[in-house]
């Protein structure tokens, strides 16, 4: 069949080989996807979602049954006591900020056991300016770096815990812009159990990009609170904005008090016309995440065959949907993003260049062209312009078309090798 796109002959051949090599993984991912779809459907059925829940409210949003049912559906599917799911969370960072300020009080201290958190969280923790960071409210934030082989550093964690009182353990499941694998729910559960056997302390997980990649979420493994973005996995591409917090009821309630106002909490919050989008998106989310999972594996396999270092490897088990491709040169990183952009459904004719981004230290180049601005469950790639010039690729709501974009990225990269 003739392609509609200018894909290099060599890349066409390598892509065929790549797809042959990853067949078994695809079968496994489809099993996870089907299980999760069934789980979500069952949450809809158990909570008796009905036609009237699809409609939203205006103004204060009192008695918004759709809003209440969405919280219940998330809580059921994520095996949590309660959830706070709102389109009015502006981003993942906003949701995480509400969760931290919701559960913490002045004088308390967080211990993050996955090293320095994601770039945009850093000014939430502490800033040199008077911007209302945790630091400005006398809330401390300590970190324990991972070991050299990117495991939890149990010795250092327990040394810290023995010397000082901590009030919250913070875990970032996905890698963010670090060169490490994501943590599995089992690994998170294991360290949570060890810590809780000695200390009475709550554990919160930044679950961004992790939802539906496994058959369970960290809440099934003793974690007290999970937080994520609706323009990533659980929004299923239909949610136009938002975030969720799920976990223990008392903690979710505190977050709701911070999100709106003390004692008002979940009683208000107009949903406008977003209830249908949040419900439909969550219903589709396992399948959409499954597609993104496949896109990541295909990218790994293709670039391995092209001789590039990738992480995770195509054969490695995954716990998030992020794929790193080490392009080793600034120009190839640019070409990768520019090639990918050519195969995106919106803004395909735009040429991305590195730019200063709010919340990030280095210049960043981003390829993005989805139906929701900034959505990273839709195929996108970004890379901070620093060594080793790694492209972080994620998303893809449809494997067959996303594959084209990845092949176009590969085409730009090899044409630049010659
Ligand atoms: C995406 C993400 C966030 C939140 O980022 P936003 O861009 O504000 O949605 C936080 N942590 C991790 C690990 C992420 O991937």
Q: How far is the CA of 117 from the centre of ligand 1 (A)?
A: 10
List of E strands, 207-269:
225-229, 243-247
- Which two structure tokens, joined as six digits, stand for 27? 């079968």
Q: What is the pLDDT of residues 55-68, one digit of tens each?
A: 999 999 999 999 99
Determine if ligand 1 sits within 6 Å of the CB of residue 118. yes
Determine if ligand 1 sits within 6 Å of the CB of residue 175. no
Half-sphere exposure of 375 (CA within 13 A, CB side): 28
Indicate the pLDDT class of residue 1, thresholds 50, 70 and 90.
low
Determine if ligand 1 sits within 6 Å of the CB of residue 208. yes
Q: Please report the pLDDT score of residue 228 as a whole number.
A: 98
The atom number, within ligand 1, closest to the CA of 243 reads 9
Q: At what angle do helices 275-305 and 399-417 cross, to 10 degrees?
A: 40
Which has the minimum average pLDDT: 198-202, 235-239, 333-337, 357-361?
Answer: 357-361
The residue nearest atom 13 of ligand 1, judged by CA position, is: 176
The residue nearest atom 6 of ligand 1, judged by CA position, is: 92
Determine if ligand 1 sits within 6 Å of the CB of residue 206. yes
Give the residue from 284, 182, 179, 294 showing the smallest Cα distance to 233: 284
Distances (CA, A) of 54 to 86, 126, 271, 275, 279: 14, 40, 10, 5, 8
Q: What is the pLDDT of residues 80-97, one digit of tens each?
A: 999 999 999 999 999 999
392 SS3 class: strand
Q: Please report the pLDDT score of residue 2 as a whole number.
A: 72
Cα 246 from Cα 227, distance rounded (Å): 7
Return the DSSP state at 302. Answer: H
Q: What is the pLDDT of residues 283-340, one digit of tens each?
A: 999 999 999 999 999 999 999 999 999 999 999 999 999 999 999 999 999 999 999 9
Q: Please report the pLDDT score of residue 211 as a whole number.
A: 98
141 SS3 class: strand
- Which two structure tokens, joined as six digits, stand for 118? 């994601």
Q: How far is the CA of 99 from the centre of ligand 1 (A)?
A: 14
What value does the mean pLDDT take over residues 240-260?
A: 98
Give CA angle at 90 (84, 92), nearest 5°: 70
Return the DSSP state at 326. Answer: E
Q: What is the pLDDT of residues 165-223, one digit of tens each?
A: 999 999 999 998 889 999 999 999 999 999 999 999 999 999 999 999 999 999 999 99
Task: DSSP for 181-225, please give it.
Answer: PPPPHHHHHHHHHHHHHH---EEEEE-TTTTTTSSS-GGGGT-SE
Q: Please report the pLDDT score of residue 359 as a whole number.
A: 66
What value does the mean pLDDT take over residues 238-261?
A: 98
What value does the mean pLDDT take over residues 150-156?
A: 97
Determine if ligand 1 sits within 6 Å of the CB of residue 229. yes
Are 377 and 208 contacting, i.e. CB atoms less than 8 angstroms apart? Answer: no
Average pLDDT for the chain = 97
Q: Please report the pLDDT score of residue 206 as a whole number.
A: 98
Q: What's this model's pTM, rounded to 2 decimal places?
A: 0.97
Q: Please report the pLDDT score of residue 288 as a whole number.
A: 98
The atom number, within ligand 1, closest to the CA of 320 reads 15
Q: What is the pLDDT of residues 368-407, one digit of tens each?
A: 999 999 999 999 999 989 999 999 999 999 999 999 999 9
Q: Please report the pLDDT score of residue 417 as a whole number.
A: 83
Residue 361 has pLDDT above 80, yes or no: no
Q: How far is the CA of 118 from the centre of ligand 1 (A)?
A: 7
Q: How far is the CA of 394 from the centre of ligand 1 (A)?
A: 12
Are 219 and 231 contacting, i.e. CB atoms less than 8 angstroms apart? Answer: no
Ligand 1 site-directed mutation target among 88, 112, 115, 206, most atoms within 8 Å of CB: 206
């Amino acid at each position: 069949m003739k392609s509609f796109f200018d894909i290099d002959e060599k890349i066409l051949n390598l892509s065929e080989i790549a797809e042959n090599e990853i067949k078994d993984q695809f079968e496994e991912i489809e099993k996870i996807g089907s299980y999760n779809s069934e789980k979500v459907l069952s949450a809809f059925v158990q909570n008796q979602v009905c036609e009237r829940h699809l409609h939203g409210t205006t103004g204060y949003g009192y008695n918004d049954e759709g809003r209440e049912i969405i919280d219940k559906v998330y809580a059921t599917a994520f095996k949590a006591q309660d959830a706070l799911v709102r389109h009015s969370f502006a981003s993942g960072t906003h949701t995480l900020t509400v969760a931290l300020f919701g559960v913490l009080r002045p004088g308390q201290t967080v211990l993050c056991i996955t090293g320095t958190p994601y770039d945009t969280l850093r000014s939430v923790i502490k800033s040199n300016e008077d911007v209302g960071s945790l630091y400005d409210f006398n809330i401390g934030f300590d970190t324990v770096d991972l070991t050299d082989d990117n495991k939890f550093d149990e010795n250092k964690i327990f040394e810290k815990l023995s010397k000082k009182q901590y009030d919250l353990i913070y875990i970032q499941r996905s890698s963010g812009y670090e060169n490490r694998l994501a943590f599995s729910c089992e690994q998170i559960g294991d360290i949570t159990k060890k810590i809780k056997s000695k200390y009475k302390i709550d554990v919160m997980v930044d679950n961004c990009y992790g939802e539906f990649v496994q058959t369970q979420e960290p809440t099934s493994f003793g974690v007290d609170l999970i937080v994520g973005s609706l323009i990533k996995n659980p929004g299923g591409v239909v949610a136009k904005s938002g975030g969720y917090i799920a976990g223990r009821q008392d903690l979710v309630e505190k977050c709701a008090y911070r999100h709106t106002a003390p004692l008002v909490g979940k009683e208000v919050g107009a949903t406008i016309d977003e209830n249908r989008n949040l419900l439909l998106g969550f219903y589709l989310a396992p399948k959409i995440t499954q597609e993104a999972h496949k896109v990541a594996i295909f990218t790994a396999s293709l670039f391995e065959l092209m001789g590039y270092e990738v992480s995770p490897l195509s054969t490695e088990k995954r716990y998030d949907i992020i794929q790193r491709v080490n392009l080793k040169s600034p120009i190839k990183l640019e070409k990768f993003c520019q090639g990918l952009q050519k195969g995106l459904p919106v803004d395909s004719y735009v040429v991305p260049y590195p730019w200063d981004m709010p919340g990030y230290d280095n210049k960043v180049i981003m390829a993005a062209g989805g139906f929701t601005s900034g959505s990273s469950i839709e195929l996108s790639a970004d890379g901070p312009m620093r060594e080793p010039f790694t492209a972080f690729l994620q998303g893809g709501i449809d494997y067959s078309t996303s594959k084209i974009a990845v092949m176009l990225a590969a085409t730009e990269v090899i044409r630049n090798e010659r």
